[in-house]
Chain A
Amino acid sequence: MPAAAAVREAPKTGEVMLDIDQVRQAYPRGPSNTLLVLDGVSLKLKSGEIVGLLGRSGSGKSSLLRIIAGLARPVDGKVTWRGRPLVGPSDGIAMVFQSFALFPWLTVLENVEIGLEPLGVPAAERRTRSLEAIDLIGLDGFENAYPKELSGGMRQRVGFARALVVHPELLLMDEPFSALDVLTAETLRTDLIELWTEGKLPLRSILIVTHNIEEAVLMCDRVIIFAANPGRIAAEVRIDLKHPRNRDDPAFRALVDDIYVRMTKPLEAAARAAQQAAAAAHGGMGIILPDVSTNDLAGLMETLFGDFDGKADLPELADDLSMEVDELFPLAETLQLFGLAEIASGDIRLTEIGRRFVESDVDQRKRLFGEQLLARVPIAALIRRVLDERPSHRAPYRRFSEELEDFMSEDAADETLSAVITWGRYAEVFAYDEQSQAFSLENPE
């Protein structure tokens, strides 16, 4: 096996390899409920391009990747790979996992070789091809090490080698760098892009799932932005910058800002929808609340007030707090829900109440937070009202979870109640006893 065999000419562009047409995906939730995770997703993947699927967790981008990998079947829609319907794990598609997914009991070499076995490649060729892949990805000398002896970055390199050894045409990557520290992730990204632009990878196309906006802009030729509930394509952004790309390049920053704005759009829409829903018949009970801690909320407001004078660009704020979109957005959303901050065109701004909160002491903060909670979170208001009305001032968890389950899945109801319990405890508007699974008004002395 000459090493040159693995090296192809610069990837030819333009030919459609993968065609996704109106794909829907849903999972059963309980006997009658289903959770719709992808709705009407259409996407064409051409040879010679790196495409990024960008979105918050729960936007269905990983579900789409699993469908392409043949690990899941969509409930509706067509997926065509190289002109044929895709019905399972297919020739020419390989995948890199977020958690590396290495077999701990196999050495680096064995972990790579196993990719070739099901293809019926003879033992000697398996060995040479695996050594080539290990060589290419920079793992020389680690052939006989076990994964637990390697650092995270090295482990992910094994993951890459295992995927590349089968000489796939399409490489799928599911947040491949998010389990790594910042430096390691950057090195790995740069190495990968370098191999790609030099045409050393035995690949024709790469599809990468990420929630990191800068990563997407750094690597991809095209970024598809997903919106959540249900997962669907919200926007598409072309990135024509030449590799290697520079994060400080104004054009780069402009693209990052643009994507931020596009990703916050659904946020604003969601907030409006929530307000409308609150006015509607069932009193806003259908909002799924993220379980964020009051410490984080207060910390975010303090940073906004202290470092940014009450108003900040979301990407800058994320950078300042070294937070990912996934961590920042639920916090921002919750502040907006409480009327403590407002989000508009990629910016976040503290409201008057938000400013008052930051300037208050602990007890005043709790009172303020409690007032906002009861005024703006219908389920919290309901819990308080029921507790006030009952002579015993006690009510079981199920009383409220069942009410929520009329509007959302069981998991979502649990998460929402968990959030409300955290906030209610902080504001001391009600108490909750985990042992007896009951809300009450009594606060322990």
Chain B
Amino acid sequence: MAGLQPSLAILRSRRLLPSVWDVLVFGLVIGLLALIAFGGHETLQPLAVANRRPVSLNPVNLPYYALRTTLRMLAGLVFSFLFTFIYGALAQKSRRAEMILIPMLDILQSVPVIAFATFTLAFFLNLFPGNVIGAELAAVFEVFCAQAWNMAFSFYQSLKTVPRDLSDVSDSLRLGGWRRFWTLEAPFAAPGLIWNAMMSMSGAWFFVVVSEAISVGKTTITLPGIGSYVALAIDQKNLGAIGWAILVMLVVILIYDQLLFRPLVAWSEKFRVELSAASGPPPQSWLLDFIQRARLAQNLFKPFQVLADRVVRFRTPYKVATPQIVTEVWSSRWMDYVWIGLIVASSLAAAWFAISFMRTEIGLTDVAVTVGYGFITLVRVLVLIALASLIWVPIGVWVGLRPKWAERIQPVAQFLAAFPNNLFFPVAVVTIVRFNGLPDVWLSPLMILGTQWYILFNVIAGASAFPNDLLEAAASFKLKGWAWWSKVALPGIFPYYVTGAITASGGAWNASIVAEVVSWGKTRLEAHGLGAYIADATARGDTQRVVLGVAVMSVFVVLLNRLVWRRLFDFASRRLALN
């Protein structure tokens, strides 16, 4: 994976305080999710699908399972790209669409990924009754949800920052909308988009594994894949099988990285706009070199190139002439009021719908209890981030300042971040049970098992990028010890650290649903917290409480992002950026 500048797209948004708009959009998103969940629930039969070919623990089957899992990942990625292009372009071209689409991404980003699967499972199953495709789609949708929001936001941000002169020249040449998209907008967005896709891949692996063996109430899904293999191994207390699964997963991610993302990232370098040489060596990929050098490979790709060329060159008119009166009415202020009215009305309707369904089962005390659980999980997340920072910041700085080490450790850290660490959970459970650990304490580290690496590799990236002359200046003034850390190193890496910590925090919230309740055979460990609350409600098929838990968690995540992380990020980019 490439050591590019960390620039998570979602952080670029400037607004800090939640506005009325956010509340409305929040109502809309949660309301719609609830609608889908309840709608599915009403018609939910005990669908005994997908168990026709039971999963076996024989390691020989693992490559096949791994293939199935990988195909789901690829399908999710394809859908994410499609969604990104449409959503991002829509948000950029239409001011009215932008008003709603962008806050919506922010909220969607805060909804725990696993919730999408719980809400939509019944919907997908009903789409293809009695067929395994519905379950497959649900798993693919989970991959999609782990990637698409961040990618769409990155794409939108790129579209917003297309260089003025290139935009002018496209207008001046009268490139039609379609050609402009493929000549200017998509290439310009490519590096950021691919980088963001790669960064959200870890979440995708995590949740594809979870969603292959998922139970919502009476419905249990088992899709052949690494996730269901691990689930069965947990059920049968087979630690050896878990070991095999981890091994195969390592290989799969390595291949995925080498054959897909590394070539993509190296290739996307071509689309960087800065005409001057970039800092540091550009990312390399042996596969890309091979394709670009070998004639055979080129011939292999030729038909695709020709096809792509045809598609891209499809001519659309530069501007469609619309009658004056239509343009005037369409762009008038009154149309804005109509549009805003529509949004407000549908948000209120969705929220009212959600609340009226919840009220049958849930009272204010339930809400209070859920918020209480939210605070427990919040404390966990914050303490864990602090601990992880204490450990990884010094190590990251040390490594980052030594190029030889950084070169070797950086890929490992990025690899660990991409690994679906839920495969390690059984190992942890066995250990906790053996030593009789307190679940409320010892289950917590699982939440950050996978996401702590973001802190490490961002700090390494920051320390590597630290200007050498500043280091030498510090050395010449004989700055040492705490003075060196507080005046030189920490301010220097802070922007990078914040980026890593935000990702880690988001990942920890997401992971809490899986990490606060774990089992090993019949043994079940449960910590108190919002994650466990949601997981339990999901297992019971208690849709109302799932919706409540998810809504509360989303609010926690949004508030934490706005009130803490984005402020730190703003401060970092305003005061401590080194360029």
Contacts and interface: CB of A to CB of B under 8 A. Distances in A.
A147 B275 contact: yes
B271 A97 contact: no
Contacts of B183: 103, 106, 114
Interface residues of A, number: 27
Given A103-B183, A103-B184, A114-B183, A94 B172 contact: yes
Give chain B's interface residue range (CB within 8 Å of chain A).
Answer: 20 to 34
Interface in A57-110: 66, 69-71, 88-89, 94-95, 97-101, 103-106
A435 B187 CA distance: 38
Contacts of A30: none
A88 B166 contact: no
Nearest to A155: B275
A28 interface: no
Contacts of B172: 69-71, 89, 94-95
B303 to A, nearest CB: 17
B174 A118 contact: yes
Main secondary structure of the interface of A (DSSP, over half): loop
A315 to B, nearest CB: 31
Nearest to A97: B165
A196 B171 CA distance: 26
B6 interface: no
B169 A95 contact: yes
B567 interface: no
Interface string B151-185: 00000000000010110110111111001000110
Contact of B169 (A101, A105, A117, A120): A101
Interface string B285-324: 0000000000000000000000000000101001100000
A148 B168 contact: no
Contact of B165 (A69, A101, A105): A101
Contacts of A199: none
A115 interface: yes
Given A104-B275, A105-B187, A148-B275, A118 B179 contact: yes
Nearest to B318: A118
Nearest to A106: B183
Among B172, B315, B318, B319, the most chain A Cβ lie within 10 Å of the Cβ of: B172
B315 A120 contact: yes
B540 interface: no
B169 A118 contact: no
Nearest to B276: A148
B273 A104 contact: yes
Given A97-B165, A97-B168, A101-B168, A114 B173 contact: yes
B270 interface: yes
A89 B275 contact: no
A96 to B, nearest CB: 10
Interface of A: 66, 69-71, 88-89, 94-95, 97-101, 103-106, 114-115, 117-118, 120, 146-148, 155, 435
26 contacts: A69-B172, A70-B171, A71-B172, A88-B174, A88-B318, A88-B319, A89-B171, A89-B172, A89-B173, A89-B174, A94-B172, A95-B168, A95-B169, A97-B165, A97-B169, A101-B169, A103-B166, A103-B183, A103-B184, A104-B271, A104-B273, A118-B173, A118-B176, A118-B315, A120-B315, A148-B277
Given A89-B171, A95-B169, 6 more contacts: A69-B168, A88-B319, A98-B165, A100-B165, A101-B169, A147-B275
